[in-house]
Structure 1
């Protein structure tokens, strides 16, 4: 676990950011972005997803970022302890991932790092 309290697992071209060591995706949505810093993108996506879903009892966010063919393939979602509507939650996550201003901010922030981790 990092000093921030988040588990960061990097396996090849895939980086996973999660609160718990064993990340579980009860719900998930996917998107693609241009190549940039994977960890910075993961943290930004996690923060915005948490803001949108913080009222969902028992939600623990998970973000996976995989670099492939000059793109970042992002899977965002998480574990939910309790009852929930999969369709409703996945639509909320999809709305976060497809929001144009957020996407632009994530890329700008991730490219400022100077690295492509």
Structure 2
């Protein structure tokens, strides 16, 4: 039976998402990203990193997200049971720097302030006028 449990370690500056405790970086790469939901961002990065490195025997992903200025510093990598290939850090950096990945991560990690739609919510500039008219003449009560 597979375990889908991930350890989330929070501290003052951010969070670390890892499969094992303590989180360990045998291989890592870093990148800066605009602000967003760190938890959503960490999970998205972990998924893409795993897709790229799943052939690396004994690899256990770790993603660390910390606030830095107006953005987030991401350190992604993980623990490797065995020899770490020389190109592993480069593969992780490729995942972090891929423009399509970054755009998808940021769309997913947008901080949601409420359940209202940006186009039709109370602060929308183009909010539609909604009116209802009820004709009670033909209604009867039994």
**TM-score (norm. length: structure 1):** 0.91
Length, aligned pairs only: 111
The residue aligned with 1:96 is: 95
The residue aligned with 2:72 is: 72
The CA deviation at 1:21 is 1.7
Cα distance in 2 for residues equivalent to 1:104 and 1:90: 21
CA RMSD of aligned residues (A): 1.3
Bigger CA radius of gyration: 2
Provide structure 1 residue ranges, at least 5 long, that are not aligned to the other structure: none
| Cα-to-partner distance string for 1:1-56 (whole Å, 9 max, x where unaligned) | xx940000110122000001200000000000000000000000000000000000
Relative CO higher for 1 or 2, CA cutoff 8 Å, sep ≥ 6? 1
Quick check: which one's helix share is greater?
A: 1
**TM-score (norm. length: structure 2):** 0.75
Quick check: which one's strand share is greater?
A: 1
Does the Cα contact within 8 Å between 2:27 and 2:84 map onto a contact in 1?
no
